[in-house]
Amino acid sequence: MGVSARALATIAALTGVAVLAAGCSNDEVKPKWTGTDASGGGPSASASAELPKAAFAAPTDGASDVSTATELSLQATPGANAQVSLTDASGATVAGGLRPDGTTWVPAAQLKYGTQYTATVSSAGDTAGKKITFTTMAKPGKTVNVSTGISDNKTYGVAMPIVVRFGSSVPQELRASVEKRLLVTADPPQVGTWHWFNGGEIHYRPKEYWTTGTKINVRLAVGGLQLTKTGWGTKDVTSTFSIGDKIVMTTDDKTHQMTVEQNGQVVKTIPVSLGKAKTPSSSGHMVVMDKNQSELFVGTDPDDPYRETVYWTQRMTSGGEYIHSAPWSVDSQGKRNVSHGCTNVSESNAKFLYNLTKIGDIVIVKNTPRKLAWGNGWTDWDKSWDEYVKGSALPPQTATASPSGSAPASASASGSASAPAA
């Protein structure tokens, strides 16, 4: 399978193009202008007739029961010359924009149920344009919730995946149409893709870590979209967030040390104690999923019970591996492994890390006897890009800067959380 969600593009209306021809030593060369006004020359009537004329491929004129997640598909590809407008039954204009390839026009928000719309498309070859009317579907009896755990206007780490969860499993045959409606825009633009972990959960990550300072808009444009054989999306979901400093925590079990980097510079080296032989820590690329000043850790193994309030916690896996303060193991930190799978650090170092890091920061653990299980947390960075894109139903695409008129959405944890390992 290919991969990713396509972003909307702004329609750039060209009313005239200035072409200046000049030579350094030829005063006879005059500026030449082409435009649409009478004085500028513009294209002749015969030339305009030869230009591609845009028309709607779907919906068809008079169509009924149209999805409120519909896009207006064009029969021709007139590029920037295409002008699309959409109005509802009251005459109110609906905002939207063309996709980058110019094949469809996407409304910036879910259309209303049971409403008649009028759409018009014109182009340089057909200024009169083509007009259609269509009526959207009635509100469906069964709807499916779509959710994301990303908080609006929050700053996340450079490894932050966009995690989307569906209330019912999306069947294989519908995943491409669903993925196409999961819209990500980024400024600056970065190549990225979606990856289906299962029918109920899909993640988005860029090819490389997000660039510090990136502004990201997400729109899960699924309101009225068929998600299962009998269920349709309840509503669109939107979110806007930013990417902060690049924090990378790298722990090597051979040295029992964690190296902490901020924007490429080492800021601290911290002694650690990882999981003992019976409960080894996982090696792989993990992401900080959650942070708390304190949590109650309760062991589930009757042969090795524990019940402890632990401070300055940062969760790395759904299975319960954390970075946290462990004053009881300070003598072992930097020397030997005594934990139940967590990364034990001193209280002062745990507090330092807690104050430095964000949800979405990357954690790399090396040389432990256990490999990180795929899906045990936000494991998106534990596969190469070539492998990751195979989990998508569409090809990868650049998440462009947010277009005007488009509405932006987002994430939650992968899998269910298990008891923490102290």
Q: Which residues are catalytic?
A: 324, 342
CA distance 220 to 195: 15
Whether the Cβ atoms of residue 102 and residue 146 lie closer than 8 Å to each other: no
Whose CA is closest to 262, among 273, 247, 276?
Answer: 247
Whether the Cβ atoms of residue 105 and residue 10 lie closer than 8 Å to each other: no
Whose CA is closest to 78, among 58, 98, 106?
Answer: 98
Full DSSP string of 134-170: EEEPPPPSSEE-EEE-PPTT-EE-TT--EEEEESSPP
Secondary structure of residue 356 in the 3-state scheme: helix
Instruction: Count CB-CB contacts under 10 A for residue 130.
Output: 17
Whether the Cβ atoms of residue 152 and residue 369 lie closer than 8 Å to each other: no
Whether the Cβ atoms of residue 390 and residue 300 lie closer than 8 Å to each other: no
Compute CA 158 distance to the chain's CA centroid, rounded to the nearest angstrom: 13
CA distance 99 to 185: 12
CA distance 40 to 15: 11
For the sheet containing 116-123, what is the strand order?
63-66, 126-136, 116-123, 83-87
